Structure 1
Amino acid sequence: MNLPQNVAPKPSSLASPVVELRQYTLKPGQRDTLIDIFDSRLIEGQEAAGMTIIGQFRDLDRPDMFVWMRGFDGMAARKDALAAFYGGPVWAAHRDAANATMIDSDDVLLLKPAWPGAGFDLAGAQRPSLAGDEKPIRNRPLTGIVVIEIHHLQPGTEADFTTRFEIETACLMTADARLLAAFVTEPAENNFPRLPVRADENVFISVMGFASTEA
Structure 2
Amino acid sequence: MNVIELRQYTLRPGQRDLLIDLFDLEFVESQEALGARVVGQFRDEDNPNRFVWIRGFSTMQARREALTAFYVEGEVWKAHGPAANATMLDSSDVLLLRPAGPHSGFPEPASARPPKGAHTLPSSRVVATIYHLDAPADEEFIRFFSDRVAPLMAETAGPPLAGFQTEHAENTFPRLPVRTGENVFVWFSSFADSDHHREHTERLAQSAEWNESVLPELSARLSAPPRHLRLAPTARSQLR
Q: What TM-score do you get using the length of structure 2 for normalisation?
A: 0.77
Q: CA deviation at 1:171?
A: 3.0
- 1:68 aligns with 53
Question: What does residue 158 of structure 1 align with?
Answer: 138
Equivalent pair of 1:109/1:198 in contact (CA under 8 Å) = yes
CA contact (8 A) 1:59 1:66 kept: yes
Letter in 2 for 1:182: G
Structure 2 vs 1, CA of residues 150 and 175 (structure 1 numbering), >3 Å: closer, same or farther?
A: closer
Kept in 1: contact 2:99–2:105 (CA 8 A): yes
For this pair of structures, how many residues does the alignment match? 194
Query: What is residue 77 of structure 2 aligned with on the other side?
Result: 91
Contact 2:128 2:186 in 1 (8 A): yes
Secondary structure of the equivalent of 2:30?
Answer: helix
Counterpart selection for 1:110 from 96, 99, 102? 96
- Select the structure that is richer in helix: 2
CA contact (8 A) 2:60 2:172 kept: yes
Shift of 1:29: 0.9
Q: Alpha-carbon deviation of 1:145?
A: 1.8
> Counterpart in 2 of 1:7?
none
3-state SS, counterpart of residue 76 of structure 1: helix
Separation of aligned partners in 2, 1:56 and 1:36: 11
- TM-superposed CA distance for 1:186, in Å, is 0.7
Residue matched to 1:78: 63
Please show how residues 30-41 of structure 1 align to structure 2 within 5 Å.
30-41=15-26
Residue 137 of structure 2 contacts residue 185 of structure 2 at CA under 8 Å; is this kept in 1? no
Q: In the superposition, relative to structure 1, how do residues 156 and 109 fare at CA in structure 2: closer, same or farther (>3 Å)?
A: closer
Q: TM-score, normalised by structure 1?
A: 0.85
Gaps of 5+ in 1: 1-15
1:207 counterpart SS class? strand
Distance 2:83 2:128 in 1: 28
Q: How big is the shift at 1:183?
A: 0.3
Instruction: Tell whether the 8 Å contact from 1:109 to 1:197 is kept in structure 2 after alignment.
Output: yes
Structure 2 unaligned runs (5+)?
200-240
Structure 1 stretches of at least 4 aligned residues deviating more than 6 Å after TM superposition: none
Identity %, equivalent residues: 50
One-letter code aligned to 2:66: A
Q: 2:43 aligns with which of 49, 58, 66?
A: 58
Partner SS state of residue 179, structure 1 = coil
Aligned partner letter, 2:84 = A
1:156 Cα deviation after fit: 5.3
Residue 122 of structure 1: how far off its partner (Å): 1.8
